[in-house]
Structure 1
Amino acid sequence: MRRGIPAGVLIALALLVPAAPAAAQAETPGLNAACQTVERKLYKDIRELVTIDLDTATDGEVQLVGNQIMAAVRTDELPVLLPAIQKHLDGTAEDLRAFLKKGVYSARTADLRIAVGRTMTDAGANVQAAAQKALNSGTINASLAYLNEELYAARALDCASQPTPSASVNPSATSSVTPSVTPSATTTAAPVPTASASTDAPSGEGGGLAVTGADIGTVAGAGGALLLLGGVGYVIGRRRRSRFVA
């Protein structure tokens, strides 16, 4: 005759049994999608919880395994297994027993594939490659290995290949310096007006040249006047001679 186990005891055992190994594994840090160090999100291998012979186990033992699986996947926030196990826990013992024999693993495989796909959003090349490899395999083992180990190793590689913030500062500093130097060179070259000043200078210092030009004109005028007077005197002199001879 099969013995029944109180529901309260089943729930307590279900919550405590999977908690210890998960807590021990969660101590290892890893990088999240933003390359920040965080505690790893670990996915439980629910096959480790099925330690009884489902064909010969009592209804209470089957119920205990179902509650342990539900507790293990509750924090995964995945859409397939949790509602399915809850539905069979609320049903008959035979329905739960049949689900634990086969359906539970199909539901877990679907959930893990969804979890793998979520990590590929805006991920680097290494994460993309490792995730695709796990999806191509399609097994629980491959998905768990990726989600619990390979994902964090691939993220570390992707984060290490990202440019450092200091590299983005240097270009801005260079660009800000270059324009400031170029205008200054232009303004220093501006003293070309010195040449124009030299062209204006003749009006000041070159006044001697201007005066010299004026003196030459005066001398020329005086010379012309003297020449004219000499011509007039020559004509007058000839007239006098002609009269004297006559």
Structure 2
Amino acid sequence: MKLPRVSAVVAAAVLTPAVLFPSSASAADAPAPVGVSGPDTASEGGTTQEDLDRAEIRKILADPASGISVREAAERALAAGTAADLRTFLEEGLQNARVTDDRVRAFQILAVGGPAVKKAATAALRGSYADLVQFLKEGQYTARAEDDRAEIERILADPQTGRGVRETAQRALAVGTPAALRHFLEVELAKQQADDDRVLVTQILSKGGPAVKKAASAAMSGSYADIVQFLKEGQYTARAEDDRAEIEQIAADPQSGRHTREAARKALAGDAAGLRRFLESELAAVRMSDNRVKVSQIAETGGPAVRKAALAALDGDDQAVLAFLDRGWAAARAEDEAAAAKPTTQPTTRPTERPAEQSTATPAPQATATPQAAPAGQAPVVQAAARTTTSTGGGDTAARPGQLAATGAEGLGWEAGAAAAAVAAGAGLVVVSRRRRPTEG
């Protein structure tokens, strides 16, 4: 009668820890302890509870999901070797170690997660253990999907994103599941990025200078790491070399203006950023300054048409200045040359011809000739006198109407012609008188 009472007491002692310390659920729930009796209770096959507990602990150690705290506590229990130590670990130590490992895991996820994951992990760590278990089982994945979507949208918004990455990202967003978003970020992104980087190096090679072409060709012939290094650093080093060579040519070019040469020499004394800044933003401005100086000089020395076109260009914008230097200058210069080569039309000197016209209207010549009735034979004399008043003494270019060749006086016109006609008529009378005198004597 006493033996059953002792068995009942022993059974109660064995079951009490399991009732008072139940194992809570977690992302990697610990298996329930095996065995229902103390170390002295044997199974039907002769295996003791201690053997069963030892096997269970070894199974926990073999589970890759077991955390470091669980492993350490399990190893200590096995090292102790007693049935009590094994049972204590399974009933108490295992759960405590799991709580520690779960909190460590949540902190690790928080450290590397995006904004949504960080927020969810922080809330779980501040809550109950049930909140922590829920985060590890489901919450972290929901929050990570939110972060993945935001990351893909950021990639699409980046203007540097290549075509392959962009198209694949858009397909992942169209599917929209957490698995599709994660697959793009973990698998597709790297592959598409490598393809886009190779395309980018090819584009740089086609547009670059000698140094850039050489560096890009070497990168394309190497590994993907060489391509990444070229895109991050190599292209800029090579481009600085090309920029320096180009600016040296500009500074040495005799066609470069003073402002351009001075700015080029200043850029050569600086760093790679200064070289690029000169070529991309400063060069155009200093060249335009020199162009305006050149147009001003052309306006001062050019002919009428050139001067007019140059001044109009200076009053306009930069495009007007460039257009003048490109074709307007040549057109205006041709216009001036054509005007200089065109012969001037001989002016009609009708006032000097008036006496001759009157003499032809006279019915009969008089014995004593007057300026209005000069003999017909003296017409060449009159015409010669008229020409004398309208042409320069040393050239074949006719003077302007109303301008005397010898004096340069203007405004005489008809009066000068009449005076010349009178002189010619007087000379004719002298000749007539000399011809008559021998016969009269």
Tell me if the contact between 2:116 and 2:143 (Cα under 8 Å) persists in the aligned partners. Answer: yes
1:145 to 100, 115, 134: 134
Tell me if the contact between 1:88 and 1:99 (Cα under 8 Å) persists in the aligned partners. Answer: yes
Equivalent residue, structure 2, for 1:113 = 103
TM-score norm. by structure 2 comes to: 0.31
Q: Give yes or no for the alignment of 1:194 onto 2:295.
A: yes
Tell me if the contact between 2:120 and 2:143 (Cα under 8 Å) persists in the aligned partners. Answer: yes
Secondary structure at 2:158 match in 1 = helix
Query: Cα offset for 1:137?
Result: 2.3
- Residues 101 and 67 of structure 1: is their aligned pair in 2 closer, same or farther, counting only changes over 3 Å? same
Query: Cα offset for 1:147?
Result: 2.3
Q: How do residues 24-173 of structure 1 correspond to structure 2 at under 5 angstroms? A: 43-46=27-30, 48-50=31-33, 52-53=35-36, 55=38, 58-72=49-63, 75-76=64-65, 78-91=67-80, 92-139=82-129, 141-162=130-151, 163-164=154-155, 167-169=158-160
Higher RCO by CA contacts (8 Å cutoff, separation 6 or greater): 1
Tell me if the contact between 1:63 and 1:96 (Cα under 8 Å) persists in the aligned partners. Answer: yes
Secondary structure at 1:45 match in 2 = coil
Residue identity over aligned pairs, in percent, reads 19
- Residues 55 and 150 of structure 1: is their aligned pair in 2 closer, same or farther, counting only changes over 3 Å? farther
Distance in 2 separating the partners of 1:78 and 1:168: 43
Query: Cα offset for 1:112?
Result: 0.8
Query: Greater CA radius of gyration, 1 or 2?
Result: 2
TM-score norm. by structure 1 comes to: 0.52
| Residues 120-158 of structure 1 deviation map (CA, whole Å, 9 limit, x = unaligned) | 11421110111112212241x433332232212211111
Tell me if the contact between 1:126 and 1:158 (Cα under 8 Å) persists in the aligned partners. Answer: yes
Tell me if the contact between 1:49 and 1:69 (Cα under 8 Å) persists in the aligned partners. Answer: no
Distance in 2 separating the partners of 1:134 and 1:43: 13
The count of residues paired between Structure 1 and Structure 2 equals 166
- Aligned partner letter, 1:67: R
Tell me if the contact between 2:34 and 2:52 (Cα under 8 Å) persists in the aligned partners. Answer: no
Gaps of 5+ in 1: 1-41, 171-178, 222-246
Secondary structure at 1:169 match in 2 = coil
Tell me if the contact between 2:33 and 2:91 (Cα under 8 Å) persists in the aligned partners. Answer: no
Tell me if the contact between 1:50 and 1:65 (Cα under 8 Å) persists in the aligned partners. Answer: yes
Secondary structure at 1:103 match in 2 = helix
RMSD in angstroms over aligned alpha carbons?
Answer: 4.5
Tell me if the contact between 2:60 and 2:66 (Cα under 8 Å) persists in the aligned partners. Answer: no
